[in-house]
């Protein structure tokens, strides 16, 4: 996630014994859903089919989605989810980031992996996998987030790649996927410390782009309810009613609303009005500044006094 999104957001201590058990249940289910989605990512497969099957898998197993599945390709780092009627297919030139998490009673899961369909970027994929492993090895209550970032940076740079500097890990709170603290992918000097009995997502991104920076693109299919606001036009009111009834808490994909809205023009014009009114916020697809290829790995952990417990396993 982007570091700027985390200002003034606090990771609350919501995890009593029951909450910890539920976090473990959601984490394990998220891991299974992620790896199910991985089996679907093949050359020729439609992104929309993969997304719908993975999200259906979550529901069939008694969970909601913490966010729409992300299927980000090549220079896309994150936040690409298929559009209504999306005809795009995976090719044998693609490096695919699969980012997914499930939800239950407001407890959220978050995990990710990279599938190299091209066979050309295995070292890049391994860089993020190794960075994730090394970062988890230094996590414990009281560790500074910059120490975690330094472990990630070292693993990525020793393979000749760059860590993405304006994306990173984050706390995970009830109904809040991106809470304090931000966990950098490099040694940024931030002396915030991880607290015992909190959940954090460790999320290394590595890239062939030497700038190590991402930016927002013009493509956006993921949105989030920000609060009620005056809405004048009927299409906006139609979409707002559905969002408030079904997607008040977690991010949603525009395509999720089609079952209720039916009409694509009504859907997207309504979303546009809600964005202008401030009722929704957008989560655009993020791409590298220099158009380099990106890989990602992510696991969710429960911070303990002596170390951490991996929840997404």
Task: Say if strands 95-100 and 70-73 run parallel, antiparallel, or are unpaired.
Answer: antiparallel
Query: Pick the catalytic residue: 79, 129, 134, 178?
Result: 178
The answer to whether the beta carbons of residues 28 and 311 sit under 8 Å apart is: yes
The DSSP-derived string for the chain is --GGGGTT--------HHHHHHHHHHHHHHHHHHHHHHHH--TT-BHHHHHHHHHHHHHHTT-EESSPPEEEETTEEE---PPTT---B--TT-EEEEEE-EEETTEE--EEEEEESSSS-HHHHHHHHHHHHHHHHH--TT-BHHHHHHHHHHHHHTTT-EE-TT--EEEEETTEEEEEEEE-SS------BPPTT-EEEE--EEES-TT--EEE-S---EEEE-------SHHHHHHHHHHHHH-SSS-EEGGGGHHHH--HHHHHHHHHHHHHHTSEEE-PPEEETT---EEE-BEEEEE-SSSEEES--
175 is catalytic: no
176 is catalytic: no
Task: Say if strands 176-183 and 205-207 run parallel, antiparallel, or are unpaired.
Answer: unpaired
60 is catalytic: no
Query: Pick the catalytic residue: 129, 153, 203, 221?
Result: 203
Query: Pick the catalytic residue: 170, 176, 180, 283?
Result: 170
170 is catalytic: yes
Query: Pick the catalytic residue: 99, 134, 176, 273?
Result: 99
203 is catalytic: yes
**What are the backbone angles phi and psi of residue 286, rounded to the nearest 5°?**
-105, 130
110 is catalytic: yes
Q: Side by side, which strands form the sheet with 95-100?
A: 70-73, 95-100, 111-116
Query: Pick the catalytic residue: 25, 94, 110, 273?
Result: 110
Catalytic residues: 99, 110, 170, 178, 203, 298
């Amino acid at each position: 996630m982007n570091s700027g999104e985390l200002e003034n957001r606090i990771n609350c201590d919501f995890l009593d014994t029951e909450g910890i058990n539920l976090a473990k249940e959601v984490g394990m289910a998220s891991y299974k859903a992620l790896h199910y989605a991985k089996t679907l990512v093949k050359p020729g497969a439609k992104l929309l089919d993969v997304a719908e099957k993975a999200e259906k898998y979550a529901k069939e197993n008694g969970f909601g989605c913490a966010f729409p599945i992300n299927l980000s390709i090549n220079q896309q780092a994150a936040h690409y989810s298929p559009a209504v009627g999306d005809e795009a297919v995976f090719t044998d030139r693609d490096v695919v980031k699969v980012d997914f998490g499930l939800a239950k009673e407001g407890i959220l899961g978050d995990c990710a992996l990279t599938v190299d369909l091209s066979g050309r970027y295995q070292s890049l994929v391994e860089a993020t996998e190794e960075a994730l492993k090394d970062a988890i090895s230094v996590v414990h209550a009281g560790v500074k987030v910059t120490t975690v970032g330094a472990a990630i940076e070292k693993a990525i740079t020793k393979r000749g790649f760059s860590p993405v500097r304006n994306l990173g890990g984050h706390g995970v709170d009830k109904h809040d996927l991106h809470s304090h603290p931000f966990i950098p992918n490099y040694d940024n000097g931030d002396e915030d410390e991880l607290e015992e009995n909190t959940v954090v997502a460790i999320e290394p991104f590595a890239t062939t782009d030497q700038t190590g920076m991402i930016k927002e693109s013009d493509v956006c299919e993921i949105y989030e309810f920000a609060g009620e606001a005056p809405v004048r036009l009927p299409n906006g009111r139609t979409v707002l009613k559905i969002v408030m009834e079904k997607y008040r808490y977690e991010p949603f994909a525009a395509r999720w609303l089609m079952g209720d809205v039916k009409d694509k023009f009504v859907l997207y014009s309504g979303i546009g009005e809600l964005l202008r009114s401030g009722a929704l916020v957008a989560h655009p697809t993020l791409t590298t500044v220099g158009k380099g290829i990106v890989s990602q790995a992510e696991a969710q952990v429960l911070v303990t006094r002596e170390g951490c417990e991996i929840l997404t396993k």
